[in-house]
C-alpha cells in the first residue's frame, strides 16, 4: 500500500504543471457553476456542481500534500491551498446555506438593482 501511495506522489510531483493546469481552472469553473445555479434557484444542480467542485478541491489538497511530504514549502503551495480552501468553503456554504440564500434573494436583487446606474434612453441625451 505504501508503494502505491509513494508512486502516486511521485507521479503527482512529476506532472505538477499539467495537473495544476487542469485542476485549477476546473475547480474555478465548477465553483462558478455552483454560484450560477444558486442564483438561478436550481437546488439539484447546486448540489451536483458543489459535490464535483469539492472533489476537485480535495484532489488539489492531495496534490499539494505530495509536495509538503517531501518538504517543499513555497508560496505557490500556500496559494494553491488557499484557492482550494476558498472553493471548498464556497461550495459547502452554497449547499448548506441554500435555504438561507433563498430567503434573502429578493433583498439581494433589490440591492444589486439599486446600486446599478440607471439606463438613459439614447434619444433623451
pLDDT tens-place string over residues 28-47: 999 999 999 988 888 899 99
Sign of CA dihedral 92, 98, 100, 104: positive
What is the rounded distance in angstroms from the CA atom of residue 68 to the CA atom of residue 24? 18
**Is residue 112 scored above 80 in pLDDT?**
no
User: Domains of the chain: which residue ranges?
Assistant: 2-99
pTM higher than the cut 0.85 = no
pLDDT tens-place string over residues 48-97: 999 999 999 999 999 999 888 888 888 998 999 999 999 999 999 998 88
pLDDT at 123: 66
**Is residue 25 scored above 90 in pLDDT?**
yes
The cell numbers describing 44, all together, are 439539484
Counting every residue, how long is the chain? 125
Is residue 37 within 8 Å of residue 28, measured between CB atoms?
no
Phi first, then psi, for residue 120 (nearest 5°) are -105, 125
Amino acid at each position: 500500500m505504501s508503494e502505491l501511495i509513494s508512486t502516486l506522489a511521485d507521479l503527482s510531483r512529476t506532472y505538477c504543471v499539467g495537473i495544476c493546469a487542469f485542476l485549477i481552472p476546473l475547480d474555478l469553473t465548477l465553483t462558478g457553476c455552483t454560484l450560477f445555479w444558486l442564483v438561478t434557484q436550481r437546488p439539484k444542480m447546486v448540489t451536483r456542481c458543489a459535490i464535483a467542485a469539492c472533489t476537485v478541491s480535495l484532489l488539489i489538497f492531495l496534490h499539494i500534500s505530495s509536495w509538503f511530504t517531501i518538504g517543499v514549502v513555497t508560496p505557490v503551495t500556500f496559494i494553491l491551498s488557499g484557492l482550494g480552501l476558498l472553493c471548498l468553503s464556497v461550495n459547502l456554504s452554497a449547499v448548506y446555506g441554500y435555504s438561507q440564500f433563498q430567503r434573502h434573494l429578493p433583498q439581494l436583487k433589490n440591492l444589486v438593482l439599486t446600486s446599478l446606474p440607471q439606463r438613459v434612453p439614447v434619444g433623451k441625451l
